[in-house]
Amino acid sequence: MRFLLLFLCVSPQLFSQNVDFDKGSTSQKKYFEEIRYELVKDKIIVPVTINGQVFRFLLDTGAPNIISKRLFDALGLVESTSLNINDANNLTQSMHATEIPNLKIGTLNFKNQIALIYDIHSNNLLSCYNIDGFIGSNLFRKSILKVSPSQQKIYITNNVKNLSPKTKPSKMELVGSQKAPYVKFNFVGKNNNKASELVLIDTGMDGYYDMANLNFNYFSESGIFEIVGESTGVSGIGIFGAGPSNLQRLLKVENAIVNTIVFKNLIIETTDDMNSRIGLAFLDHSDLILDFKHKEVYFETRDTVLLEDKVPKYIPTMIDNKFVIGMVWDQNLAKSMTSGDEIISIDSKKVNELSPCEIMDLRSTFKNKTNYTIEIKNKENKIVSLKIEN
């Protein structure tokens, strides 16, 4: 089952006056840093040094830099302009920005970096990562970043030749002062019709790829994307929580191509976000190089990836600290469960007795299960037991 998707990308919108995320520099002109990262609940956690103390930051190229309210207070920083911020579910909150005078990754010193301020430790899901901030795309706008899951390291350099790329690059667009990285994603359907769109490269997102509903509406008449499910409900969780209940579609495309990789039988979920996006699952098959200096992106493999031709039957999510049914894609299953039904247990595990962090830990246990029993409590408070066979 596709289990509790978390999307952490945020999009700054003008609120009172513009914040220039395109600010700051590095102390060194020539540099090559190699840093080992932690993989925590499928997120990349990088050590960051501020004022001689090491903190844990989440690597999220779909967001600008973010610093926790707790760390902001401890450092005695000064807040500036207030902004309206949209998360991946198009939920909006007001956040302030600040300037961090010095921030080090490895021995590389980043000066005068702009960051948003967010109360990470009061967020029941984000607090599970034990982090003090996000490293966003604006930190790397004059550098080259490589993410290597095979070595569990990131590399930061001023010269792409230091990374010895194995493939030719694709063009990358950098959007806004945040310098959010976008790449062209190409599609070929069974009817040989073709389409393409610019997608956000979002290392804060679980999964392979989600398509913005606006883009799907544009492509819908092409016949390239097969609709394999429709559901009204809630799926992924953004930084501000679960989004409103809306009609979404589950799609399948025969060939999806980015840079040198061909994905066959890619399953796609639509989203209410303004941006389509690709996530960390791509790094199961390839190292990634984002050359912000030259606006190029490399996926370090030429493989054709044959994905398992399996359509999820439902997606769970978190609403009001309860583990619930988010989307039901299977029509037969939809006769017995609906969006919002609370999940009581999976097999013998009493899910309703677990904390949000413990529920997130279940992902590694249950994400590949093909046969299990789920108990749910429906809107009438009736307990229903269902056998799931994927």
pLDDT over 70 (residue 2): no
Q: Which domains can be identified in the chain, with CATH numbers?
A: 10-163 (2.40.70.10), 170-306 (2.40.70.10), 318-389 (2.30.42)
pLDDT over 60 (residue 323): yes
pLDDT over 50 (residue 129): yes
Give every CB contact of residue 233 below 8 A, 6+ residues apart in sequence: 245, 246, 248, 325, 326, 327, 328, 338, 339, 340
**pLDDT given for residue 16 in this prediction:** 38
* Count of CA atoms in the C-beta half-sphere (13 A) of 266: 29
* 20 against 330, higher pLDDT: 330
Range with lowest mean pLDDT among 31-40, 97-106, 136-145, 356-365: 356-365
Sign of CA dihedral 103, 109, 114, 116: negative
**pLDDT given for residue 201 in this prediction:** 95
**pLDDT given for residue 244 in this prediction:** 76
pLDDT over 50 (residue 14): no
Using DSSP, state whether 307 is helix, strand or coil. Answer: coil
**pLDDT given for residue 364 in this prediction:** 67
Q: Which two tokens stand for residue 122?
A: 């009061």
**pLDDT given for residue 15 in this prediction:** 36
pLDDT over 90 (residue 85): no
Spatial distance between the Cα atoms of 35 and 219, rounded to a whole number of angstroms:
41
**pLDDT given for residue 7 in this prediction:** 53
* 320 against 87, higher pLDDT: 320
pLDDT over 60 (residue 6): no
List 318's β-bridge partners, or say none.
323
Q: What is the pLDDT of residues 258-298, one digit of tens each?
A: 998 999 999 999 988 888 999 999 999 999 999 999 999 99
pLDDT over 70 (residue 88): no
Report the share of the chain in percent with pLDDT over 90: 65
Query: Mean pLDDT in the chain?
Result: 89
**pLDDT given for residue 17 in this prediction:** 46
**pLDDT given for residue 359 in this prediction:** 86
Spatial distance between the Cα atoms of 90 and 274, rounded to a whole number of angstroms:
8
pLDDT over 80 (residue 366): no
